[in-house]
Amino acid sequence: MIEILEPGPLATVQDLGRPGFAALGVPRSGAFDRAALRLANRLVGNSDDAAAIEVTLGGLEIRLTAAATIALTGAPCPGAPDWGRAVSIPAGASVRLAMPPSGLRSYLAVRGGVGAAPVLGSRSTDTLSGLGPDPLRRGDVLAIGRGAGEVSGAGALGSPAGDAILPIRFGPREDWFTAAARASLVGAAWIVRPESDRVGIRLDGPRLARAQDGELPSEPVLPGAVQVPSDGRPILFGPDAPVTGGYPVIAVVTGLDRAAQLRPGDPVRFSSGRG
């Protein structure tokens, strides 16, 4: 069992989410940094879709009631065991993650996987819909699943260091914006606003002006969509994004893992690959 001594600002159970239910109004959810989750699972011999703990800005402290093998990936936190490899923890020992100097989300996988009750095939906490387990609280106890493959050696860590440049593809509603707005999207250095969360990363920068007025009837939305509300400040949707939205999506980010590590105040750029 895993006892939660301190959850930190936000710790949730996450696997690869529950894709396939958007037509019923269910967000995909799942780990924000999916590469980091996969790596943590592989390190301890779990399947890619096993559930782990997603830790936001460190602060997590756990105690293991029995000896266990864990792996930590994502934003490295001081004070924790080795990052990026399987580590054996003796029974009764605790693990504490301090605040990471950079990056935002860390993943703690345990050999066997975190055993919460699945909802629509996933153990992920959906912070928008309230599906899946509640965010972790002090005193919570998580079961550990059984059955895992071979523990693997150290993995290549995707480091959140360096400037964040997120690849985008313009559309579906780029024509709702002026040419200047489209140029600003890829030309500007955007700053992550504090109101960002698993639903969306809210950005500050030049206001993106519309080329046409009016309202868009509700359209399907996916994680990665860059939606621009009427105030002209873009929101990059995360895993817990709603399944429909009424504001135009100017572009879609084609990989969210790096975005998962953006914290308030961080700069971020978009790159379209267009000349």
Residues that bind other proteins (CB under 8 A): 19-26, 119-120, 129, 131, 169-173, 217-220, 222, 224-225, 242-244, 249, 252-254
If the CB atoms of residues 15 and 61 are measured against other proteins, the closer one turns out to be 15
- How far, CA to CA in Å, does 17 sit from each of 27, 172, 174? 9, 24, 29
What's the burial of 54, exposed, middle or buried (CB within 10 Å: 0-12/13-18/19+)?
buried
CB nearer other proteins, residue 50 or residue 131: 131
Least distance from other proteins to the Cβ atom of residue 26, Å: 5
Q: Which lies closer to other proteins via its Cβ, residue 120 or residue 151?
A: 120
In the complex, least distance from residue 205 CB atom to other proteins, rounded to whole angstroms? 21
Comparing CB distances to other proteins, the nearer of 98 and 120 is 120
The two beta strands, 267-271 and 164-170, are parallel
Q: How far is the CB of 240 from other proteins (least distance, A)?
A: 12
- DSSP run (H or E) holding 196: none
- Sheet with 141-142: list strands edge to edge: 94-96, 61-64, 2-6, 141-142
Residue 78 or 171 with smaller CB distance to other proteins: 171
Q: Closest approach of Cβ 236 to other proteins, in Å?
A: 12
Task: Compute the least distance from the CB of residue 274 to other proteins, in Å.
Answer: 12
Distance CA 54, CA 13 (A): 6
**DSSP helix, strand, coil percent of the chain (3-state; round to 5):** 10, 30, 60
Query: Given its phi and psi angles, is residue 59 left (phi above 0), alpha (psi -120 to 50 degrees) or beta?
Result: left
- Smallest gap, in angstroms, from Cβ of residue 28 to other proteins? 10
Among candidates 252, 274, 269, 255, which has minimal Cα distance to 172? 252
- Specify the residue, 100 or 245, whose C-beta has the smaller distance to other proteins: 245
